[in-house]
C-alpha cells in the first residue's frame, strides 16, 4: 500500500509558508530611540549595583566519596530517607562475567527523587571460579581472552561511571532549587546473553516536567574478550549500514500502514527529522537468536510518545554479509 | 575554578553588555510576540539586560554567552506572563484582559498570530526561534535546556496544531 503524503505535505507547506510570511512582519519590529535609551540606563544601573554589592563567595560543596574498593556508601544530609545498599551479587552470567552493583545512590525529598544503581562488570577469575571443572586448566588461549576481557570490562566500567557520574552531578545541581521537580532513575539489566555474547543495558530515566528515557548498550564478544561493535559482526567492506537502514525503513512503513497511531519520522516535511541511516555508533545488541537488534532512544526516529523503539533485523537480510 | 575571578568576571560582563547592545531588537521582537505591546516588550528587554549583567559572573563558558542571554530574555517573557502557559488563548484573554486586535498591537494578519497563541509558551518559543530567528534545533535545545529530541517532538506537535487551526479557518 502506498502511503499518500501529498495532501499532508500540502497542509504542512501551507503552515511553513504562513510562518515565513509572518517572519517579515516579525523582523520589522524595533525598539524606539527612547526605549534604547532606557535600555542603556538599565545596563548602567546593573554595572553600578554590581560594584556596590559585596558578593559572598560562600560555596557549599557537597562531595560524594568513592571507596577505593567495590562497596560504595553515599550518605546525604536530608529530611527524608537516604539509603545505601552494599554490594548485590547477581548470579554468574555465562562462565566469565558477573554484574555487580558498584554504587547505589538514592535520594528522596518532597520534590526530588533519585534511584541510581551503577552496575559494574566483574570478570570471573577462572582459577577461583566455581566452574573449575568446566575450565580444567588454564590454556594460553583462555588466559589471553581473560586479559582482554578484563581490559574491556574496565573500559566499559569507566564509561558507565562517567555517564552516571554526570547524571548524579546534574541531579545534585538541581538540589539547590527546592521548588523544581526532578526524578532520576538508572537501572541496568543483562539482555540476551548467549555463550558467545554478553550485553549489558544501562537504562536511564529523567523527569522534570516530562519524562525522558534513554539507554546504552554494551556488548562483549566472549570468544575474544573484546567489545563488540556493530561492524565487527559483518565482513570487511560490506555495506551493513545501507542493508540495515533500508530494512528499518521498510519495517517503519509497514508498522505505520498497519496502525495509524504509529508514527516514525520517515517522510515528514521537516527533512531534518527524517531517519536516513544508522551509523557505526548506533546502539544495538544481539538477541537470543543471534539476530541483530537496532535500538533507538526516545525522539531519535519518532515522536517522543512512541518511546524507545527497537528493530529486529531478519536473518535473511544479513546472511550474506555476516562473518 | 578561577584563579583570578575578578579579572575574568570583568571580561564576561563587557562581552555580555556588547551582546545585548548588538541584539536588543531580537529580544524585543521575542518579547513583543508574548506581550503584544511596545511598552511591556521594552520593559522585558530592560529587565532581562539588568539581570544578565548582574549575573554575568555565573556564566562559565563564554562560548554560550549569546544563548545564555537569549535564555534570560525568554525567561523574563515567561515570568512576565506568570506561569508558563499551558492553557488556551481564550482563558488567557479572560485572565489578562487583553485582546489581539486592539489598537495597541500592530499585526496585519491577526489570524496567523492568533494561531500562535494556542501554543504553550515554550512551544511558541520554539516556533519563533526556528522560523523567525532561524536558529538551529541544537541551539534551541540549549536555550530551553531540553533534550534535542524533546525539541523535535514539540516542534512536530506544534506544526500539527497550527495546521489544524489554519485549515479550520479556511473552511469557515
pLDDT digits (tens, 9 = 90+) for B40-86: 999 999 999 999 998 888 887 888 899 999 999 999 998 888 744 44
- Give A63's contacts (C-beta < 8 A, 6+ positions apart): none
Q: How confident is the model at residue B169 (pLDDT cuts 50, 70, 90)?
A: low
Query: In whole angstroms, what is the distance from residue A156 CA to residue A225 CA?
Result: 12
Q: How confident is the model at residue A241 (pLDDT cuts 50, 70, 90)?
A: very high
C-alpha cell recorded at residue B147? 533534550
Query: What pLDDT, on a 0 to 100 scale, did the predictor assign at position A62?
Result: 21
Is B105 part of the contact surface with chain A (CB cutoff 8 Å)? no
Q: How confident is the model at residue B14 (pLDDT cuts 50, 70, 90)?
A: confident
Taking an 8 Å cut-off on Cβ atoms, the answer to whether B132 and A29 are in contact is no
Taking an 8 Å cut-off on Cβ atoms, the answer to whether B166 and A14 are in contact is yes
Instruction: Tell me: pLDDT of A233 over 50.
Output: yes
Of all residues in chain A, the percent with pLDDT exceeding 70 is: 77
Distances (CA, A) of A227 to A45, A77, A154, A220, A251: 59, 40, 11, 4, 28
Instruction: Tell me: pLDDT of B4 over 60.
Output: no
Is B157 part of the contact surface with chain A (CB cutoff 8 Å)? yes
Are B82 and B96 in contact by the 8 Å Cβ rule? The answer is no
Taking an 8 Å cut-off on Cβ atoms, the answer to whether A35 and B47 are in contact is no
Taking an 8 Å cut-off on Cβ atoms, the answer to whether B159 and A15 are in contact is yes
Instruction: Tell me: pLDDT of A120 over 60.
Output: yes
Smallest CA–CA distance, residue B70 to chain A, in Å, is 16
- Give A229's contacts (C-beta < 8 A, 6+ positions apart): A280
Q: How confident is the model at residue B119 (pLDDT cuts 50, 70, 90)?
A: confident
Taking an 8 Å cut-off on Cβ atoms, the answer to whether A49 and B54 are in contact is yes
Q: How confident is the model at residue B138 (pLDDT cuts 50, 70, 90)?
A: very high
Size of the A and B interface in Cβ pairs below 8 Å: 124
Instruction: Tell me: pLDDT of A312 over 50.
Output: yes
Best of A12, A33, A35, A45 to disrupt the B interface (most B CBs within 10 Å) is A35
Query: What pLDDT, on a 0 to 100 scale, did the predictor assign at position A153?
Result: 92
Are A269 and A9 in contact by the 8 Å Cβ rule? The answer is yes
Query: Which region holds residue A298: left if phi is over 0, alpha if psi is between -120 and 50, else beta?
Result: beta
What are the backbone dihedrals phi and psi of residue B134, each rounded to the nearest 5 degrees, phi first?
Answer: 55, 40
Nearest CB among A16, A25, A273 relative to B107 is that of A25
Instruction: Tell me: pLDDT of A72 over 80.
Output: no
Instruction: Tell me: pLDDT of B127 over 70.
Output: yes
- Give A278's contacts (C-beta < 8 A, 6+ positions apart): A230, A241, A244, A245, A248, A294
Query: In whole angstroms, what is the distance from residue B54 CA to residue A51 CA?
Result: 10
Selection from B136, B94, B96, B132 nearest residue B116 by Cα: B132
Point out the least confidently predicted range of A45-59, A167-181, B37-51, B149-163: A45-59
Are A145 and A185 in contact by the 8 Å Cβ rule? The answer is no
Mean pLDDT of chain B: 79
Query: In whole angstroms, what is the distance from residue B40 CA to residue B59 CA?
Result: 27
Is B172 part of the contact surface with chain A (CB cutoff 8 Å)? no
Query: What pLDDT, on a 0 to 100 scale, did the predictor assign at position A133?
Result: 43
pLDDT in tens, A131-181: 444 444 445 567 788 888 899 999 999 999 999 998 998 888 888 877 778
Query: In whole angstroms, what is the distance from residue A112 CA to residue A170 CA?
Result: 12
Instruction: Tell me: pLDDT of A84 over 50.
Output: no
pTM here?
A: 0.53
Point out the least confidently predicted range of A114-123, A134-143, B98-107, B130-139: B98-107
Q: How many CB atoms lie within 10 A of CB A313?
A: 18
Best of A14, A16, A43, A167 to disrupt the B interface (most B CBs within 10 Å) is A43
Are B25 and A29 in contact by the 8 Å Cβ rule? The answer is yes
Are B64 and B142 in contact by the 8 Å Cβ rule? The answer is yes
Taking an 8 Å cut-off on Cβ atoms, the answer to whether A270 and B155 are in contact is yes
Query: What pLDDT, on a 0 to 100 scale, did the predictor assign at position B114?
Result: 80
Mean pLDDT of chain A: 77
Best of A299, A300, A307 to disrupt the B interface (most B CBs within 10 Å) is A299
C-alpha cell recorded at residue A123? 570478570
Most confidently predicted of A5-14, A202-211, A299-308, B43-52: B43-52
- Give A39's contacts (C-beta < 8 A, 6+ positions apart): A31, B20, B24, B42, B45, B46, B49
Smallest CA–CA distance, residue A38 to chain B, in Å, is 7
The radius of gyration computed from the CA coordinates of chain B, to the nearest angstrom, equals 18
Dihedral, CA atoms, B22, B26, B31, B34, nearest 10 degrees? -170
Nearest CB among A22, A50, A303 relative to B54 is that of A50
Taking an 8 Å cut-off on Cβ atoms, the answer to whether B17 and A43 are in contact is yes
Q: How confident is the model at residue A81 (pLDDT cuts 50, 70, 90)?
A: very low
Instruction: Tell me: pLDDT of A206 over 50.
Output: yes
Instruction: Tell me: pLDDT of B166 over 90.
Output: no
Range B33-64 burial, b when 16+ CB lie within 10 A, else e: bbbbebebbbbbbbbbbbbbbbbbbebeeeee
Most confidently predicted of A24-33, A58-67, B40-49: B40-49
Instruction: Tell me: pLDDT of B102 over 70.
Output: no
Best of B133, B153, B158 to disrupt the A interface (most A CBs within 10 Å) is B153
- Give A233's contacts (C-beta < 8 A, 6+ positions apart): A240, A286, A292, A322, A323
Is B162 part of the contact surface with chain A (CB cutoff 8 Å)? yes
Residue B143: half-sphere exposure toward Cβ, Cα within 13 Å: 25
Residue appearing with cell numbers 560594584? A51
Nearest CB among A18, A23, A272 relative to B132 is that of A23
Q: How confident is the model at residue A127 (pLDDT cuts 50, 70, 90)?
A: low
Mean pLDDT of all residues in A208-213: 76
Taking an 8 Å cut-off on Cβ atoms, the answer to whether B149 and A39 are in contact is no
Using DSSP's 3-state secondary structure scheme, residue A93 falls into: strand
Of all residues in chain B, the percent with pLDDT exceeding 90 is: 40
pLDDT in tens, A270-287: 787 889 999 999 999 998
Query: In whole angstroms, what is the distance from residue B156 CA to residue B146 CA?
Result: 15
Query: What pLDDT, on a 0 to 100 scale, did the predictor assign at position A131?
Result: 47
Q: How confident is the model at residue B125 (pLDDT cuts 50, 70, 90)?
A: very high
Query: What pLDDT, on a 0 to 100 scale, did the predictor assign at position A213?
Result: 85
C-alpha cell recorded at residue A36? 534604547
Of all residues in chain A, the percent with pLDDT exceeding 90 is: 38
Amino acid at each position: 500500500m502506498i502511503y499518500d503524503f501529498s495532501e499532508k505535505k500540502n497542509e504542512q507547506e501551507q503552515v511553513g509558508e504562513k510562518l515565513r510570511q509572518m517572519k517579515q512582519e516579525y523582523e520589522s519590529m524595533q525598539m524606539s530611540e527612547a526605549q534604547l535609551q532606557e535600555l542603556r540606563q538599565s545596563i548602567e544601573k546593573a554595572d553600578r549595583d554590581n560594584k556596590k554589592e559585596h558578593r559572598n563567595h560562600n560555596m557549599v560543596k557537597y562531595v560524594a566519596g568513592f571507596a577505593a574498593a567495590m562497596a560504595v556508601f553515599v550518605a546525604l544530609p536530608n529530611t527524608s530517607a537516604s539509603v545505601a545498599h552494599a554490594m548485590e551479587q547477581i548470579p554468574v552470567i555465562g562462565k566469565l562475567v558477573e554484574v555487580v552493583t558498584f554504587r547505589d545512590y538514592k535520594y528522596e525529598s518532597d520534590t526530588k527523587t533519585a534511584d541510581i544503581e551503577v552496575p559494574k562488570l566483574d570478570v570471573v577469575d577462572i582459577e577461583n571460579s566455581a566452574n573449575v571443572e568446566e575450565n580444567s586448566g588454564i590454556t594460553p588461549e583462555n588466559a589471553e581472552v581473560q586479559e582482554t576481557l578484563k581490559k574491556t570490562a574496565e573500559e566499559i566500567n569507566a564509561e558507565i561511571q562517567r555517564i552516571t557520574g554526570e547524571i548524579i552531578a546534574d541531579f545534585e545541581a538541581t538540589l539547590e532549587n527546592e521548588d523544581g521537580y526532578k526524578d532520576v532513575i538508572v537501572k541496568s539489566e543483562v539482555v540476551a546473553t548467549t555463550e558467545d555474547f554478553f550485553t549489558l543495558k544501562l537504562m536511564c530515566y529523567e523527569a522534570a516536567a516530562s519524562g525522558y528515557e534513554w539507554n546504552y548498550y554494551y556488548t562483549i564478544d566472549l570468544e575474544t574478550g573484546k567489545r563488540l561493535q556493530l561492524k565487527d559482526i559483518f565482513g570487511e567492506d560490506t555495506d551493513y549500514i545501507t542493508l540495515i537502514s533500508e530494512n528499518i525503513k521498510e519495517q517503519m512503513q509497514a508498522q505505520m500502514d498497519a496502525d495509524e497511531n504509529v508514527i516514525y519520522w520517515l517522510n515528514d516535511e521537516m527533512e531534518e527529522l527524517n531517519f536516513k541511516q544508522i551509523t557505526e555508533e548506533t546502539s544495538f545488541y544481539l538477541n537470543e537468536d543471534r539476530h541483530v537488534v537496532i535500538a533507538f532512544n526516545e525522539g531519535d526516529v519518532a515522536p517522543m510518545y512512541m518511546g524507545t523503539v527497537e528493530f529486529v533485523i531478519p536473518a535473511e537480510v544479513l546472511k550474506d554479509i555476516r562473518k | 575554578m578561577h584563579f583570578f575571578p575578578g579579572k575574568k568576571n570583568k571580561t564576561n560582563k563587557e562581552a555580555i553588555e556588547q551582546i545585548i547592545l548588538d541584539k536588543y531588537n531580537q529580544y524585543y521582537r521575542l518579547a513583543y510576540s508574548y506581550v503584544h505591546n511596545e511598552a511591556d516588550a521594552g520593559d522585558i528587554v530592560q529587565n532581562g539586560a539588568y539581570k544578565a549583567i548582574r549575573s554575568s559572573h555565573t556564566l562559565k563558558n563564554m562560548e554560550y554567552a549569546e544563548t545564555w542571554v537569549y535564555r534570560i530574555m525568554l525567561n523574563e517573557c515567561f515570568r512576565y506572563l506568570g506561569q508558563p502557559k499551558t492553557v488556551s488563548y481564550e482563558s488567557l484573554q479572560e485572565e489578562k484582559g487583553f485582546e489581539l486586535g486592539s489598537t495597541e498591537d500592530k499585526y496585519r494578519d491577526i489570524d496567523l498570530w492568533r494561531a500562535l497563541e494556542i501554543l504553550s509558551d515554550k512551544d511558541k518559543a520554539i516556533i519563533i526561534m526556528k522560523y523567525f530567528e532561524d536558529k538551529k534545533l541544537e541551539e534551541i535545545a540549549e536555550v530551553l535546556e531540553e533534550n534535542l529530541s524533546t525539541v523535535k517532538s514539540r516542534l512536530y506537535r506544534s506544526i500539527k496544531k497550527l495546521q489544524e487551526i489554519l485549515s479550520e479557518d479556511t473552511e469557515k
